[in-house]
Amino acid sequence: MSHFEYRGDSLYAENVPLAAIAAAHGTPVYVYSRASLTENFLAYANACRAHGRADGRGALVCYSVKSNSNLAVLSLLGRLGSGFDIVSGGELLRVIAAGGDPRKVIFSGVGKSREEMRLALSHDILCFNVESIPELHRLNDVAGGMGKRARVSLRVNPDVDPKTHPYISTGLKENKFGIAFEDALDTYRVAAGLPHLEVTGIDCHIGSQLLDDAPLLEALDKVIELADRLHELGIMLHHLDIGGGIGITYDDERPVAVADYLSRLFTRIDGWRREQHGGKPIDILFEPGRSIVGNAGVLLTEVQYLKHGATKNFAVVDAAMNDLMRPAMYEAWHGVQPLQRRDDAGKLYDVVGPVCESGDWLARERRLALAPGDLLALMSAGAYGMTMASNYNTRGRAAEVLVDGDRFMLIRQRENPADLFALESIPE
C-alpha cells in the first residue's frame, strides 16, 4: 500500500499534506513515511515468521544500510528486530549510534581496511562477508592481533545473470565482486586453515532491482550445491546469506511479491535440509535495502523557472543531481507528481537542476502543468537518494523529514554551506 497519495488535489504522506512539510522545512527535502518503512520491513520479517523463523532464530533480515542510512530509519528498523548489512566502518558507527545491535551486523564489501576490521571485531559483529584470499589473510592477522576469532562467510560469485542494469549487477564473472565459483572450495580450505577465523556461512549477491526471483533461486541452487560439497569436506555452515532484496516499482515494473519469493526460497531450503541433512536447520540471512526504503520516500523540490525552448521545455527546480544522482548515473526513472494538481493538460517538460552539467536532469519528457513556485515530488526516492547525495557545486545536502500519522519530524537538518568548507584551511 502506498502512503503517498492524493486527497482531492493535494499530495499527502500518510495524513500530512506534503506542502506543509515544504513550508516548514523548505526544499529540497527528503520525506519518509514511517508506516511504509514498517510495512516494507515486516513483509520480510512476517514471511520468515510464516515459515517458522523469526528475528535471528532461523532467519535474520539485515537491512542494507547503504540504501538509506539516516539514524531515524536505522533506529526504527532496529526496534522492529532488523539486523544490518554494512559496507564501511562509518556505517557500523551509524548502526551503533542508532541503537542497533552490532551482533546482528554483517560486514560486506571488497575493500575492508585493517581499521574497519578492528572496529567491527571490537563490537563483535555477527559475520564478515569476505571477498578474496588476501582479505582472509588480513582478517586472520587483525583478529589474531586482538586475540579474537572472526566469523566469516565467503561471498561466492555464482555467475548468474540478474537481468538488471549493468551498473547494479554484481554476480557475473566480469564483476569485481565475490570469489569465482570454481575457486570457492579452495578458498574455503584456506579459510578453514586459518587459526583466527571461524567459517560460519556462505554469501552471494547477484545484483539489485531484480523484478523476478528466478535468478535469485538459480543462485540459491548453486549455493546449496556448494554447501553440500563443503559439508563433504567437513566444513559445516551455520548460515546462508542470499544477498539483497527484490526490486520495486518506479514506473510500471511489476516485481514479484516478497512473500512469494521467500515462500519459494524457504520451500527449497526446507526440502534440501530434509533430504540431505536429516532436517537439520540452517539460518538464512537477507540483505534487502531498496525494497524497504525505496517507495517509503520522496524528494520534494520547488520549480524555480520555466524555460520554453525551440525544441524542449525545461522546468528548472531547486533539487539537482547532487541530491538525487540516480537519473544522471543510471538514467533511472522517477515519477514526478505535483503537490497540488492543476486542472490543465500541461506541456512536456524536462525537469532539471541548477548544477552546471548537462547530465543534471531528474526526469525527462514528462507531461506537467506547472508555474514557477510550484512544488513537485520525485517519487520512490527513499533508497540510494540521500545516501548518494554529494556537495557538488557547494550545495548543502537536503533536509530529511519523517512522517508518522499526522505528525512530522525533522530527522536531518539541511546542510549549511559554511559547514561544507569548515574542514578546509588556507596555507600561509
Which residues form the interface with ligand LLP (CB under 6 A)? 64, 67, 85, 108, 168, 170, 205, 208-209, 243-245, 287-291, 326, 330, 384
- To ligand LLP, the closest distance from the beta carbon of 286 in angstroms equals 8
- To ligand LLP, the closest distance from the beta carbon of 101 in angstroms equals 19
Residue with cell 520534494: 300
> Is the Cβ of residue 85 or residue 116 nearer to ligand LLP in the bound state?
85
Residue 28: cis peptide before it, omega within 30 degrees of 0: yes
- To ligand LLP, the closest distance from the beta carbon of 91 in angstroms equals 12
Q: Are 297 and 34 in contact (CB under 8 A)?
A: no
CA distance readout (Å), 235 to 69, 77, 144, 179, 199: 35, 33, 21, 17, 8
> Is the Cβ of residue 339 or residue 379 nearer to ligand LLP in the bound state?
379
Backbone angles phi, psi at 420, to 5 degrees: -70, -30
* Residue number of the CB atom closest to ligand LLP: 244
- To ligand LLP, the closest distance from the beta carbon of 181 in angstroms equals 17
Known catalytic residues are 356
- To ligand LLP, the closest distance from the beta carbon of 154 in angstroms equals 13
> Is the Cβ of residue 283 or residue 404 nearer to ligand LLP in the bound state?
283
> Is the Cβ of residue 33 or residue 108 nearer to ligand LLP in the bound state?
108
Q: Are 31 and 286 in contact (CB under 8 A)?
A: no
Residue with cell 486527497: 7
Long-range contacts of 18-24 (CB under 8 A, 24+ apart): 18/298, 18/300, 18/339, 18/375, 18/377, 19/339, 19/340, 19/375, 20/408, 21/300, 21/401, 21/403, 21/408, 22/300, 22/302, 22/339, 22/375, 24/408
- To ligand LLP, the closest distance from the beta carbon of 79 in angstroms equals 20
> Is the Cβ of residue 203 or residue 404 nearer to ligand LLP in the bound state?
203
CA distance readout (Å), 258 to 106, 162, 366, 386: 21, 17, 30, 24
Q: Name the nearest CA neighbour of 314 among 324, 299, 304.
A: 304
> Is the Cβ of residue 74 or residue 316 nearer to ligand LLP in the bound state?
74
Q: Name the nearest CA neighbour of 83 among 56, 57, 44.
A: 56
